Amino acid sequence: MIKDTRLILALDVTDRHQALKISQDVKGYVDAIKIGYPLVLATGKDIIGEIAEMVPVIADFKVADIPNTDRLICEQVFSAGANALIVHGFTGSDSLKTCVEVAEVHGADIYVVTEMSHPGALDFMQKVAEDMAQLASNAKVAGVVAPATRPERVQKIRSIIGNDIAIISPGVGVQGGSAADAIKAGADWVIVGRSIYLADDPKKAAMEIAKEIKDAIDQ
Ligand code: XMP
């Protein structure tokens, strides 16, 4: 993934026309667009390729199954045109290895969830987040997903994975996280959904967050 604005749009709209319009509008201001179940279930998997023609697509399906089923899912997602896929790590090293193998065949990337950005992540996920980060690092994935809502956890996860793999960080804006703080804590990219796609002018909103990120880096 190119590292330019260091901003990823989470495009959780359910209308095909709106999704394509926003993708066109923010092109050049985001490095990737993350799409998931809301958009794909509403419009069909062809939307993956349609958006990927404009901006690289990260498919957020949080894949979590046995290796054979993971393989079947990965093949569908990458054949549809996704450049990257988010998967869970708790299913273990064999499931993750399968996802990485299929991604390699397609020249695509895998990102592994560590600790999610919402409060409920403290119930179970935080206890194993550091193990997930280590697992992801061992599997040589492209990166992990870590919470912008807890910059200190981004920093901790960075200390575990080192600088060889990336951190993409959701939770900015509506969930309360700050793009600047996440970047300063060690995130390579921040992921922003509602603060951009619900804005009156999504392009302007994306530009403002990209500027906040640039200012944080330049400090
Ligand atoms: P908002 O609207 O809150 O959207 O900016 C955030 C987007 O990111 C997803 N999300 C996560 N994905 N690990 C993930 O893999 C996480 O910890 C996480 N937290 C939020 C969310 O589904 C939405 O698309």
Residue 214 near residue 180 (C-beta atoms within 8 A): no
- What is the per-residue pLDDT for 17? 98
Secondary structure of residue 81 in the 3-state scheme? coil
Residue-averaged pLDDT of the chain: 98
Question: Complex ipTM above 0.85?
Answer: yes
Which one-letter amino acid corresponds to residue 43?
T
Report pLDDT digits (tens) over 44-78.
999 999 999 999 999 999 999 999 999 999 999 99
Q: Give the residue-averaged pLDDT of 34-43.
A: 98
Residue 51 near residue 24 (C-beta atoms within 8 A): no
Ligand 1, closest atom to CA 34? 24
- What is the per-residue pLDDT for 168? 98
Mutate to test the pocket of ligand 1, among 116, 157, 174 (most ligand atoms within 8 A of CB): 116
Q: Give the residue-averaged pLDDT of 135-148.
A: 98
Residues in contact with ligand 1 (CB, 6 Å cut-off):
10, 12, 36, 60, 62, 86, 113, 116-117, 145, 147, 170-171, 173-175, 191-195
Residue 55's Cβ-count burial label (10 Å; 0-12, 13-18, 19+) is buried
Closest listed residue to residue 60, CA positions, set 88, 29, 94: 88
What's the pTM value of the predicted model, to 2 decimals? 0.98
- What is the per-residue pLDDT for 96? 98
Rounded distance, CA 158 to CA 187, Å?
A: 8
Active site residue 65: yes
Report pLDDT digits (tens) over 10-23.
999 999 999 999 99
- What is the per-residue pLDDT for 146? 98
Answer whether CATH 3.20.20.70 is correct for domain 7-218.
Answer: yes
How many residues are recorded in the chain? Answer: 219
Report pLDDT digits (tens) over 153-195.
999 999 999 999 999 999 999 999 999 999 999 999 999 999 9
Rounded distance, CA 133 to CA 144, Å?
A: 7
